[in-house]
Amino acid sequence: MTRTSPAFLKIIGCPLMTGVLAFVLLAHAGTAVAGTSASASVAGVPPEEAMRLGEKMYRDGILPSGKPLQAIVKGDVPVAGSQLTCSNCHQRSGFGSSEGTIRTPPIDGTRLYLPLSKFKGIPLTKQATELQANDLFRPAYTDETLARAMRTGVDPAGRQMNTAMPVYDLNDRDMAIMVFYLRNLSSGLEPGVTDTSLRFATIITDEVSQEDRQSMLGPLQRYIGNRRLSRTSEFSVRTGAYLQEGTSRGMRALSLVVWELKGPSGTWQGQMEEYYKKAPVFAILSGITYGDWAPVHRFCEDHKVPSVFPITDYPVISEKDWYTFYLSKGLYQEGETSAKYLNSRDDLSKDIRVVQVFRKNRAGTALSKAFQGAWTGLGRRPADDVALGEETLTADFWKKLADKYRHTVVLLWLDANDFPDLENLVKTKAMPEMIFASSSLLGQRLYLLPEKARKSVYLTYPYTLPQDARKYRESIETSLRNLNLPITNLDIEFKMRSLFSTLTGALAAMRNYVYRDYFLELIEKTPDLTVVQVPYPRMSFGTGQRYASKGCYVVQLSEGPKPELVKRSEWIIY
């Protein structure tokens, strides 16, 4: 298929320009598959299969045969497979990147087949017959010149590309699949997007209290209702053409729907499928559950739907999943932090015995598993586990535990209802050498720890310290009052501010190019949010990172009737 007009072919013989970089490989496909009917095949396979095979080549460096893709860099350096995947430079969206002096401009499926302007890397707005040779940054690709560029490193005007661009050893069938994939990347309209609207969803599970629901939903509805997405160019991504002169550039209106999930988590997948089938959405913003976010996480991976900052203590811990951004690792990072802190204490024997006491519920399992993995990963012997069912924890239980684990470190991964008052341990003089607890599980109960026990009790604290966050909380309270929004759970409303700070820049930067992978890449590039009113002292992302807050404090309570949290560590990065 060729999209270059005869008129444009008359002017592509422009002089060589120095510094011309590679313009070839792209990333994740949009929903439309251009240039192929539903019944047509690509190199003998259905279009959907061709897209899957092309994606595998682009992202993983794996040929349709299952063998590693072979390429040459800098004229004579062979590379294969994942050594130099296309997405490393061109990103999954195909919208390019820059590193130092190397720049890979954005080349999505639409702009790839249009001439680009010399400096901005955007489609030219004039007719080809009106252009001068020096107006060009690079001519439009055709299927043929695209294949030639991948095999020889020569662009549509006959210019040699930068030697950082690999040349690929692809047979005709594999090349046809790759070209088809590239032609359809980030083209057409994504689900939930029209030329004039952009639809989001948020998720609430039925066990969430009315107060917590309002703390999440009220600010989010106000934020979305007050925003429009600017279309700052007259270029239409949907049609690959320009609006007629005098046509309004317009704005995309943002809307929000609420997906209420009811009943056991095993039924959530079906409920989400029904919501999505009825009205697809571009992304899921925030959301709240007291349970496990895993069913929603899996749905988003399956449907390639971005999910940004759900409010949950139980995020999915994964190094390879792509579509969900979490505020933090939740309870998991508290377990990891305690292991790193203990390992750093020179005053503790390298053979110190450690015991974990926890209920065999979601919270206890998350904390104990995280600690055990980090602790043994540091070369330490595994901690002893005292895993509890539903039994009542009596004074006799705690006495026997203290007698058995003298001169040890005891991790009490228990909530406020189970946590002992520690007075009995102090009186028996069988106090363990150190006790660790989770501030997230204890909540306000932590301030009731007896003063005699405070020197031995260490708490993991994954937020900005209360005395440091006070000014931010007062600012948010004022903002909520000005918006006539009730203040029902300031901790949740605090986290919503993080979402809005992150979204604002990404939405503004998308402009006309409203694609899911690009949206996620823009969030990855969000500047460090340390200076923003957020519940964590540090929040940032990097390529492939999906947890904004990456650390935790270890603290103790100060003396006196009105204790404050005192840092016993700096911000420990997991």
Q: Is residue 168 located within the same domain as residue 259?
A: no
Q: Is residue 342 located within the same domain as residue 443?
A: yes
Of the candidates 545, 463, 546, 534, the one whose C-alpha atom is nearest the C-alpha of residue 501 is 534
The answer to the question of residue 417 being in a domain is yes
pLDDT at 240 over 50: no
Lowest mean pLDDT among 224-238, 308-322, 355-369: 224-238
Residue 172 pLDDT level (bands cut at 50, 70, 90): very high
Task: Determine the Cα angle at 542 with ends 538 and 543, to 5°.
Answer: 160
Segment 321-380, tens digit of pLDDT = 999 999 999 999 999 999 999 999 998 888 899 999 999 999 999 999 999 999 999 999
Rounded-to-integer distance, Cα 419 and Cα 410, Å: 13
- Longest alpha-carbon distance in the chain: 94
Segment 481-525, tens digit of pLDDT = 887 888 888 889 889 988 998 999 899 888 888 999 999 999 998
- Exposed, middle or buried by CB within 10 Å (0-12, 13-18, 19+), for 100? exposed
The answer to the question of residue 439 being in a domain is yes
Q: Is residue 380 located within the same domain as residue 280?
A: no
Q: Is residue 304 located within the same domain as residue 424?
A: no
pLDDT at 248 over 60: no
The domain spanning residue 426 has which CATH number?
3.40.50.2300
Q: Is residue 30 located within the same domain as residue 45?
A: yes
Contact (Cβ atoms closer than 8 angstroms) between residue 154 and residue 146: no
The answer, as to whether pTM is greater than 0.85, is: no
pLDDT at 433 over 60: yes
Q: Is residue 456 located within the same domain as residue 513?
A: no
Q: Is residue 61 located within the same domain as residue 148?
A: yes
Lowest mean pLDDT among 12-26, 259-273, 290-304, 503-517: 12-26
Rounded-to-integer distance, Cα 264 and Cα 306, Å: 23
Q: Is residue 203 located within the same domain as residue 319?
A: yes
Q: Is residue 355 located within the same domain as residue 267?
A: no
Q: Is residue 397 located within the same domain as residue 323?
A: no
The answer to the question of residue 1 being in a domain is no
The answer to the question of residue 397 being in a domain is yes
Residue 77 pLDDT level (bands cut at 50, 70, 90): confident
3-state secondary structure of 152: helix
For residue 250, is it left (φ>0), alpha (ψ between -120 and 50) or beta?
left
Segment 444-489, tens digit of pLDDT = 999 988 888 888 899 999 999 998 888 777 788 888 888 788 888 8
The answer to the question of residue 548 being in a domain is no
Segment 543-571, tens digit of pLDDT = 888 999 999 999 999 999 999 999 999 99
Domain with 422, as residue range(s), is 331-461+554-573
Q: Is residue 387 located within the same domain as residue 277?
A: no
Last residue of a domain, one of 183, 214, 236: 183
Total number of domains constituting the chain: 3
Q: Is residue 41 located within the same domain as residue 137?
A: yes
The answer to the question of residue 192 being in a domain is no
What's the whole-number average pLDDT of the chain? 83
Per DSSP, the residues of 419-464 read ---SHHHHHTT---SEEEEEHHHHGGGGGGS-GGGGGGEEEEE-S-
